[in-house]
Chains A and B, each alone.
Chain A
């Protein structure tokens, strides 16, 4: 039973807080469109590592917070992040065993999915035009994922997060 007692929860909270900060941090206009989806990457990692503790409803709550922080229509990112994390939780065993580049590719397509869902809901709600720069975060997330993964794994092992 002792295996199921949560440990190092604060590491998860802190990493999510940091990701949220990075998500709303100001960036120069040129790199703004390339901003990786920090929050999504971090919650994907935790959903992959501890799917019984951090999963769809945590992603939902984070999505609501992100919507509020960005001043967006409520529920959009909550919806897309829950969908993405659902896919992760469904395949967490397989994702864990992928080589890192394959994992990064998978994650980047999930980021694409996230942005498409956000765009799609925005499109239904108001007039927005499709812009290919929508997919830039997927590329930057692809590049950044291995580092996020290694760093969070080190943190997880260091503090024995369960």
Chain B
């Protein structure tokens, strides 16, 4: 079986072609997002199929639960719901008060943003990064850079999308950074991932910075990617070594990154959205407000 067409193009030529193409892909990686999105839309059924065994395990765990277990769980959830609704009542009151105060100051009022619950698909990802795959994609309106949170805190942001799935980079990834502030004193910092799921680090914190073990770090909203005020991490260790130029600060993410199951995708508010894209509408709204007030006073 001596094929003619192995002679046609030599293997060396094919290899050279493959290497050149790969290098082009590696270099142009960032600009190929549309291509990636369309190919991964075609391939995403594979991910759904690969997810089936995990989904089956979940299903059986749900359906084989005993009545006793369900009753117990139900009771716990009811208790939790009661506590939550009490807190929600207080929160509602505070929100109204806050809106009124913001109205008096003439600053923009925070809107309720759109949210969608997404489920984490059990699919293997690149071992060199910390990714999870969600079962919501461009069809639901997911976009690259979208913040993702769970019940405890910020989880990460969407980095790749396809029609039916999206990939989230966790805050613990080495390449991830998120601007935060300390709730106690509003000091602004940046939290970086370390590659370890339950450890984050704060780089370039000067030794005079007022930061203590136990401080809560919430997203500061700077950088216009993550909305303001979502809890991110708690400071675990502060080492101020005289031999080092900066303090070594490590923090622990509040979201349980190792066992996330259901996540919330957040769409930024209309107002904030306008702010990140161009400053002009905001300036306009500032101009408009005094006039409106004048009209009222007249």
Report if A73-B26 is in contact (Cβ < 8 Å); known contacts: A52-B3, A78-B21: yes
Report if A57-B26 is in contact (Cβ < 8 Å); known contacts: A24-B124, A25-B50, A69-B46: no
Question: Which of B19, B32, B124, B167 sits near A25, CB closer than 8 Å?
Answer: B124
Determine whether the beta carbon of A71 is less than 8 Å from that of B131.
Answer: yes
Determine whether the beta carbon of B18 is less than 8 Å from that of A56.
Answer: yes
| CA of A35 to CA of B124, assembled, Å | 10
Determine whether the beta carbon of B1 is less than 8 Å from that of A3.
Answer: yes
Determine whether the beta carbon of A73 is less than 8 Å from that of B29.
Answer: yes
Chain A residues in 8 Å Cβ range of B3: 4, 52-53
Total count of chain B residues near the partner, CB < 8 A: 46
| CA of A50 to CA of B46, assembled, Å | 26
Q: Which of A7-15, A99-107, A124-132, A149-157 contacts B (4 or more CB under 8 A)?
A: A124-132
Determine whether the beta carbon of B39 is less than 8 Å from that of A57.
Answer: no
- CB of B25 closer than 8 Å to a CB of A: yes
Chain A minimum-CB-distance residue to B18: A82
- CB of B138 closer than 8 Å to a CB of A: no
- CB of A111 closer than 8 Å to a CB of B: no
Chain A residues in 8 Å Cβ range of B174: 126-128
Chain A residues in 8 Å Cβ range of B5: 4, 52
- CB of A109 closer than 8 Å to a CB of B: no
Determine whether the beta carbon of A121 is less than 8 Å from that of B39.
Answer: no
| CA of A75 to CA of B29, assembled, Å | 8
| CA of A71 to CA of B162, assembled, Å | 11
- CB of B128 closer than 8 Å to a CB of A: yes
Contact with A along B9-24 (1 / 0, CB 8 A): 0010011011101111
Chain B minimum-CB-distance residue to A90: B11
- CB of B123 closer than 8 Å to a CB of A: yes
Determine whether the beta carbon of A75 is less than 8 Å from that of B17.
Answer: no
Chain A minimum-CB-distance residue to B126: A72
Total count of chain A residues near the partner, CB < 8 A: 47
Chain A residues in 8 Å Cβ range of B36: 68, 74
Determine whether the beta carbon of A122 is less than 8 Å from that of B128.
Answer: yes
Q: Which of A111-162 contact B (CB under 8 A)?
A: 121-122, 125-129, 162
Determine whether the beta carbon of A24 is less than 8 Å from that of B26.
Answer: no
Chain A residues in 8 Å Cβ range of B32: 74
Determine whether the beta carbon of A26 is less than 8 Å from that of B54.
Answer: yes
| CA of A64 to CA of B50, assembled, Å | 18
- CB of B183 closer than 8 Å to a CB of A: no
Chain B residues in 8 Å Cβ range of A69: 40, 43, 46-47
Chain B minimum-CB-distance residue to A65: B43
Q: Which of B35-71 contact A (CB under 8 A)?
A: 36, 39-40, 43, 46-47, 49-51, 53-54
- CB of A20 closer than 8 Å to a CB of B: yes
Q: Shortest 4 CB-CB distances between A and B: which pairs?
A: A75-B25, A52-B3, A26-B122, A79-B22
Residue pairs across A and B with Cβ atoms less than 8 A apart, 16 shown, are A4-B5, A20-B46, A21-B46, A21-B50, A24-B50, A52-B5, A57-B14, A68-B43, A71-B131, A72-B126, A75-B24, A78-B21, A83-B19, A86-B18, A126-B175, A127-B174
B residues neighboring A (CB under 8 Å): 1, 3-6, 11, 14-15, 17-19, 21-26, 28-29, 32, 36, 39-40, 43, 46-47, 49-51, 53-54, 122-126, 128-129, 131, 133, 159-160, 167, 174-175, 195
A residues neighboring B (CB under 8 Å): 3-4, 17, 20-21, 23-27, 32, 35, 51-53, 55-57, 59-60, 63-65, 68-76, 78-79, 82-83, 86, 89-90, 121-122, 125-129, 162
